[in-house]
Structure 1
């Protein structure tokens, strides 16, 4: 598809002089563009569907990815499933190649850095037939750094095969707040040192697999009850608490050679007395991340469309203040024209210097060179078929998942369920929107997996907030069954899900609950004979839970977070490391 513009990397070594020469040929507009990573709708770089053209025109003022690159010279593009970027591996590869061709056809040819959020577990943008791994908290329950590294290496290799070279993972937040609405199972756990070890393992795995890893969300989003998508979270840790609780995973990521770190739209008064969001905070990004921790890699913002970064300042000020704070990449602004022109005006007006832009651009180009984009920006269908969703990768996912399922309650040895006479099971519970790549709602996936293991299993979705009528229906359906499996999802005190479990238990039919998201559900439930924590409702984790229920696998997982008592949250019901065995 044509020669690359500069041989900036040979055998993994970055040629900084060549990169500086490339920067020197850029116009100011091209330099500003290099700082932005933008969404774009469509499965094709040049010929998206009409609905995607309409979205692009409305939100960005262009028709396609090719027009976006030509107009704004963006340095990167982020893929989303909802933007129709990730239909299937061959399509993703073709889209990536089209984007790279557009970048290399500019006056100053530069390959683009294509990114996505492929955390695995509940956050995935690329679905089947790609290999989907257990999420972070599940890996935390498994406790194996070798499994965490293997999972990331497989995931990284598959992303690289379709042209994605920057992954916004692993999450380095330490989830010490059970009420955290945005992190939760996206975190490896509540123990800073255990999280640090798993973060380092995944950094090495992703980057050996061929993609830039991105630890997030600096300086640590684990202790908040506010979602930064919709508000401004405040973290009230002292500086000493931050150093003890939040810093270790980021320090470990830096020591492991992390390519990029993502900022958090959170306020930490102990780290910045001005109470600016960390994304816009010079004391946090320059003072702590750059100077104290010695990090000189790429710093990327979390999405600039999130409310946590937009409330205090306008959309025209946010990108300028982020660059002044020490950011390199500006991710997904709500209005690209406003953000791009604001940075351009800030340089022309003297608020930002061109030399400051050059510092960030050099870091970005070095990352692109390390990831091989100057040497080989394109991918092939043959490469996709050789790497993505292979039998060995899928087998690894199942093996890793088996070590994560955690058994918390098992009264009278209720589990494993006997398969001697093909027991008749009812599977009910919450059916939240399926993560990318799931083959169906959790109740359906779990029932199918149990049926394949020799049971007769019927699925009945009761939802995350079952009505009285739906609970009555489930109770009636339980009649004559040998056991009822209930998938629970973020059970709150006095919730209808809790009522469902207690009503089913009152029938006398043994009830087994499976927490398909946060493991804290068990504290809000009563009457069940057994409880498992699966940490997600993806196929791979539900299949693992089914094998544990059937006795085909041991429940090897151990809690990576403590579970507090419902009646007294100051007391621990189950500590970190708790888990039963058969």
Structure 2
């Protein structure tokens, strides 16, 4: 759940916003820079760069986190966190001290309580920057992938995640997602989204990508990536394809370790490169790097983020990409294993990066880049090339012309009924029916009136209003059943299993949510003991569809690809027979006893006759 308070931040009126915007345009015009159109010509941007100090140039390269719901008056706990981690009290102080070119929003940093507050925060950040001498608009970004990664929650519209979209196989739906999601982000002052994920997930053990990927077929992934990019372009928000050169075939999480991709150059060209080529062809505004090593592309042992052969040799020169390149977070372990935090930003710039995202120690990183230029390791011309790309993007997004947003735009755009209906409509095409022995689904309101919903309640992403068991039970109740929820967790104890079994005996059917089931998981024991009661059991894999391989005894198994509200409601409609299942597996499911063999192939998905049972 999200706190919907806005603190002490006053909401600007439309007149105030328009007046402030006019003032910014006038100030830029007074210095010889008129931005009547969204796209400024390079000559004027270069002239603007020439007026910047070296310190201002270095600041433009950084995109930083900051705690607080307000740019000038955050809560005391957020002030304390900012002082500890950044050495400033507020977002306004961050902008003034380091002249950062971008700020990234996180829910855990209390930046995204609710849409009106987000708009106020965005306006406050822009004002703090534009009030400075030679002030420039700030490019505000976030990770709004949808599905299990969403930094802005309800009442904003939340869509199914990438693998669910992959199961729906509709480029139109991907394009609609980008268009609506982008419009809502833009209304809140967020102009850069770190989405879509362009990784081809071919490793079922992948701990960090998984359902964040559209699937395992590079051509299908490429088509959906390009479609989503087109949607974002239409909305006026910069999309970001990630994680170059490809993070789909690893069993190591780059947040906590240093993955190595062993693909040959030929395999990389046929698999990993395909969606990135499609994104570039679609006009992608930014591409995010991966903190992993691909020896076939660069055998130096450096992560791709710090690899000139990969970022300049392949991405810039071979693929012809001249947009903004942004690192993944520089606080992740994958980029910190070989070099210190002072060297990482310098080496990233030498490799070809433009934006340095979220360094663990901004002061150290900022000073390291400054020193590298003063000592001649980096040239000022090299910085200017990246700043030009960044300013081109800001101009193309209209930030020089209209850096502020209005609350009326939030009201007209964010979480409106038409957008919510589109999200539900798209979700209805994604739920995948993997098993349906004996035609157990759809359940009947006459024969299965009382339903017990049990299972895992993992930490809720922003797209949820409560524990998945509760959301699913409420959705089934709204469809005419009497459903009760009992959370059993991801590792149910013997006592918890016993409670679930006892409750199942009083139900007509059981729906159990499974979450990343492994060979030794006690979730398997839970499901088997529920089956032993003789009650019909329907399982829903609420994250990875691979769960079904561990539970072959289940007679009806669905994949929702996430436990967000929009996907759980769609699963409930399939269970109740209100919606015919249409999703097709976008990844193959290997056998549990022999992972080299396929249990369910890519494209598998059952349905049942288009009729409603009672």
Q: TM-score, normalised by structure 1?
A: 0.99
CA contact (8 A) 1:8 1:369 kept: no
Partner of 2:399: 373
Contact 1:118/1:167 (CA < 8 Å) preserved in 2? yes
Q: CA deviation at 1:206?
A: 1.1
How far the C-alpha of 1:9 sits from its partner, in A, is 4.5
Q: Could you tell me how far 1:356 is from its partner in structure 2?
A: 0.2
1:564 aligns with 2:590: yes
Q: Number of matched residues?
A: 582
Deviations along 1:185-225, whole A, 9 cap, x unmatched? Answer: 00000000000000000111112112100000000000000
| 2:441 matches 1:441 | no
Query: Do 2:146 and 2:463's aligned partners in 1 also have CA atoms closer than 8 Å?
Result: no
State how far apart, in whole Å, the 1-side matches of 2:248 and 2:35 are: 37
Is the partner of 1:215 in helix, strand or coil? strand
2:123 aligned residue (86, 93, 97): 97
The separation in 2 between residues aligned to 1:395 and 1:254, in whole angstroms, is 31
Instruction: Give the conservation status (yes or no) of the 8 Å contact 1:506–1:527.
Output: no
2:310 aligned residue:
284
Preserved CA contact (<8 Å) 1:8 1:16: no
1:275: which partner in 2?
Answer: 301
Tell me what 1:3 maps to. Answer: 24
Look up the SS of the partner of 1:3 in the other structure. helix
1:220 to 2:241 alignment = no
1:504 aligns with 2:530: yes
SS in 1 for 2:453: strand
Is 1:35 paired with 2:56? no
Deviation, structure 1 residue 3: 2.0
Q: Using the TM superposition, give the Cα deviation of residue 494 of structure 1 relative to its aligned residue in structure 2, in angstroms.
A: 2.7
SS at match of 1:290: helix
Q: Is structure 2 residue 350 aligned with structure 1 residue 324? A: yes
Partner of 2:277: 251
The aligned residue for residue 202 of structure 1 is 228
Structure 2 matches for 1:123-134, cutoff 5 A? 123-134=149-160
Secondary structure of the residue aligned to 1:487 is: strand
Given that 1:176 and 1:222 are in contact with CA atoms closer than 8 Å, whether structure 2 keeps it comes out as yes
1:238 aligned residue: 264
Using the TM superposition, give the Cα deviation of residue 540 of structure 1 relative to its aligned residue in structure 2, in angstroms.
Answer: 0.1
Cα contact 2:126–2:137 (8 A) shared by 1: yes
Deviations 1:410-451 (A, max 9, x none): 010000001136610000000001111411000000000000
- How do 1:534-573 residues align onto structure 2 when only pairs under 5 Å count? 534-573=560-599
Q: How far off is 1:527 after superposition?
A: 2.4
Stretch of structure 1 that moved more, 489-498 or 282-291: 489-498
Q: Separation in 2 of the partners of 1:35 and 1:245?
A: 31
Identify which of 373, 380, 384 aligns with 1:347: 373
Distance 1:420 1:485 in 2: 16
| Alpha-carbon distance in 2 for matches of 1:444, 1:337 | 45
Aligned mates of 2:167, 2:463 — CA distance in 1: 23
Aligned partner of 2:336 in structure 1 is: 310
Structure 2 contact 256–332 (Cα < 8 Å) conserved? yes
Secondary structure (helix, strand or coil) at the match of 2:256 reads coil
Alignment of 1:22-171 (within 5 A): 22-171=48-197
For residues 255-302 of structure 1, what are the alpha-carbon distances to aligned partners after superposition, in whole Å with 9 as ceiling and x for unaligned? 000000000000000000102000000000000000000000000000
CA deviation vs aligned residue, 1:155-181 (integer Å, no higher than 9, x gap): 000000000000000000000000000
The answer for the alignment partner of 2:601 in structure 1 is 575
Q: Distance in 1 between matches of 2:506 and 2:159?
A: 36
- C-alpha displacement of 1:10: 4.2
Between the aligned partners of 1:316 and 1:528, the Cα distance in structure 2 is 53
Residues in 2 aligned to 1:244 and 1:320: alpha-carbon distance in whole angstroms: 32
Give yes or no for contact 1:443–1:459 (8 Å, CA) kept in 2.
Answer: yes
For residue 209 of structure 2, the aligned residue among 183, 202, 206 is 183
Are the structure 2 counterparts of residues 422 and 479 from structure 1 closer, same or farther at C-alpha, using a change threshold of 3 Å?
closer
Deviations 1:489-514 (A, max 9, x none): 00001310111111111111011000
* Shift in alpha-carbon separation, 1:11–1:26, aligned structure 2, 3 A: closer
Can you give the 5+ residue segments of structure 1 that lack an aligned partner in the other structure?
Answer: none
Partners of 1:44 and 1:94 within 8 A in 2 = yes
- Hey, what's the Cα distance between the residues in 2 that align with 1:38 and 1:506? 53
User: d(CA) in 1 for partners of 2:38 and 2:120?
Assistant: 25
4+ residue stretches of structure 1 with deviation over 3 A?
6-13
Cα pair 1:453 1:547 within 8 Å, conserved = yes
Three-state SS of the structure 1 residue aligned to 2:398 is coil
When structure 1 is superposed on structure 2, of 218-227 and 523-532 the one drifting more is 523-532
SS in 1 for 2:145: coil
Matched, 1:360 2:381: no
- Do the aligned partners of 1:141 and 1:404 also contact (CA within 8 Å) in 2? yes
Residues 348-370 of structure 1, C-alpha deviations (whole Å, 9 max, x = no match)? 00000000000000000000001
User: 1:269, 1:320 → 2: CA distance?
Assistant: 22
Measured at CA, do residues 144 and 303 of structure 1 come closer, stay the same or move farther in structure 2, by a change above 3 Å? same
What is the alpha-carbon distance in structure 1 between the residues aligned to residue 236 and residue 323 of structure 2?
17
Residue 15 of structure 1 and its aligned partner are, at CA, apart by 1.5
Aligned residue for 2:300, secondary structure, equals: coil
Distance 1:10 1:16 in 2: 14
The 8 Å contact of residues 142 and 190 in structure 2, kept in 1 or not, is answered as: yes
User: How far apart, in 2, do the equivalents of 1:113 and 1:274 lie?
Assistant: 33
- Deviation of 1:560 after TM superposition, in Å, equals 0.0
The CA distance in 2 between the partners of 1:11 and 1:578, in whole Å, is 49
TM-superposed CA distance for 1:14, in Å, is 2.8
Return the alpha-carbon distance in structure 1 between the equivalents of residues 167 and 235 of structure 2.
23
Aligned partner of 2:12 in structure 1 is none
Partner of 2:506: 480
Structure 1 equivalent of residue 10 of structure 2 = none
Query: Which residue pairs with 1:457 in the alignment?
Result: 483
Give the Cα–Cα distance (whole angstroms) in 2 for the partners of residues 152 and 486 of structure 1. 32
Following the alignment from structure 2 to structure 1, what is the Cα–Cα distance between the partners of residues 441 and 182? Answer: 36
Counterpart in 1 of 2:457?
431
For residues 159 and 454 of structure 1, what CA distance do their matches in structure 2 show? 35
State the distance in 2 between where 1:420 and 1:480 align. Answer: 16
- Structure 2: how far apart are the matches of 1:490 and 1:10? 52
Alpha carbons of structure 1 residues 462 and 8: separation in structure 2 relative to 1, 3 Å: farther
Q: Give the direction of change, closer, same or farther, for the CA distance of 1:11–1:99 in structure 2 (3 Å limit).
A: same
